[in-house]
Structures are given as structure tokens and as C-alpha cells.
Amino acid sequence: MSWKNFFRTKNTAQLVEALDLGVLHTDIHSHLIPGIDDGSKSMEESLNLIEQLYELGYRKLIITPHIMNDYYKNTPEIIHKGLEELRIQLEKNTIAMEVEVAAEYMLDDGFEAKIKAGNLLTFGDNYILVEMSYMAEPPNLASLLFELQTEGYRVVLAHPERYTYWHNNFNKYQEMVDRGVILQMNINSLTAWYSEASKQIAHKLIRADMIRLLGSDLHNQNYLNELKKSRYIPLLKDLLANPKLLNTKL
């Protein structure tokens, strides 16, 4: 059966055996540089979480700390310093995970200045991970996307299934895809970890063949426990079979 035919099934029952997330190879969204955002609080916690991700099959992590104008004022220098410290500890503890960094940029009132300043943190083929407020769509969303793309960035929108103001207007997702924006789903959305509504939109996005990147959005052990549960969801099996997923190419 082709991956397209999988999407026609209801996928209501749980799988008997856990899926191997190693087929993704790379996780492109996590918060595992200790102490710089709302993710891991210590090096010990980061090492423990990364070791568990390795056991789940991941072999490369692109860690994406928050960068926000008013709250997490991280810079490339802060993030790269954290990366080097993490790499040293991974080697000391013989954890064979490849780690890189990018960032998760909030499309806030300070982001346009960051574009003009340059030095944005990207991953892969000049991909840039961005997120929006959970309260409302940025009023200048279209112009920010255009500016990024004009500068040669390939825009990845983090967890689109979580923006509740789009839930009743599915055309917004199609508009993003038509603009060339890549949609990155959080795997935990499939378990209703965030909300039942986000779960339903995640399912709909998968069935519409709009998801091109999967991320753990890992912050702590609770997120990881939920990620382990997601491995029994049939619709995730369907998505992992989609040859258009980009994780394995990073």
C-alpha cells in the first residue's frame, strides 16, 4: 500500500508495537541548551534527555532555543557557547549524538530588525524556524515572510497546529503552503498533549499532505514521556512513510 492510501484510513486504534523514530534520523526542534530558555534547566537534564532520544533512534539534533524580543533575548553567541559546552559533555559521557543549533524566532515587533541585522541562525539548506504568538496572527505576517524569502531564507513555521485562531480557517494553512512556507508539526500534537483541537488539526494537516518536518519540541522529561506514547499512533506511522518528509535530508 502506498503512503497516500494510508491517509484514507481512520487510524483510530493504537499500534501494538512502538514505531522506530530512527527513521527520521534528525529532530529539528528542541530546547536542550541548558538554562537559556524554558527548556532544559541543567546540563545533567540535557544529557539525560539526549540519551533517551538516542535510545528512540535519533542520531542528530538541531536544537532551537527561543529568541524573543522581550523575554528570551538569546543571541547567536549565547547559543553557540551553550552548544560547545553541550558537545564537550556529550563526548565526556560517550553519548554519540550529533548536535547542531539554530533558533526558534518569535515573529514579534523586534524580528524585522533582526532580519535587517543579518546573522540569523539557520539549519540545513538555509531553513529558518519561526513561531507566532498563540494569541493572534502577527499583523505583518505576509510582509515578514516575503522579506525572509527575498533574503534567501526557507521559512519553516513551527507547530502550525497550535495556532487556535487558524483552527476554523483551514485555508490559512493552504495559504502558507502556497507561499512556500514549510510546516513543522510537533509529534506530541498527535496525542492531544497540547489540546484535542490541536490534535484534530494535526491529523487534518497530515491527511492534506501539508507536513514536511517533524519536531519533538522537547523541553523536559514530561515532553519526552509523551513523545514515547506517540510511537503507538497509526497516523504517525502513515506520516513516517511519506517520502516528502525532510528530516532525513538534514
Domain 3-249 -> CATH class: alpha beta
The DSSP string of 107-124 is -STTHHHHHHH-----BT
Q: Confirm if 246 and 32 have CB atoms less than 8 A apart.
A: no
3-state secondary structure of 178: helix
- pLDDT for residue 11: 46
Are 241 and 209 spatial neighbours (Cβ–Cβ below 8 Å)?
Answer: no
Q: What is the pLDDT of residue 70?
A: 86
Backbone angles phi, psi at 243, to 5 degrees: -70, -10
pLDDT at residue number 182:
98
45: alpha, beta or left? (left if phi > 0; alpha if psi -120 to 50): alpha
**What is the reported pLDDT for 12?**
57
The pLDDT of residue 6: 43
Annotate 149-173 with DSSP letters as a single string.
Answer: HHTT-EEEEE-GGG-GGGTT-THHH
**Per-residue model confidence as pLDDT tens digits over 167-200:** 999 999 999 999 999 999 999 999 999 999 999 9
- What the block records as the C-alpha cell of 1 is 500500500
Contact 206, 238 (CB under 8 A): yes
Q: In the chain, which residues have pLDDT < 70?
A: 1-12
Say how many CA atoms lie within 13 Å of 137 toward its Cβ: 17
Cα separations in angstroms, 113 against 25, 144, 158 = 34, 11, 20
* CA-based nearest residue to 26, from 2, 53, 52, 3: 53
Which among 61, 38, 15 is positioned nearest to 222, based on CA atoms? Answer: 38
- Cell matching residue 217: 519540541
Instruction: Output the CA torsion 171→5→188→124 (10° steps).
Output: -80
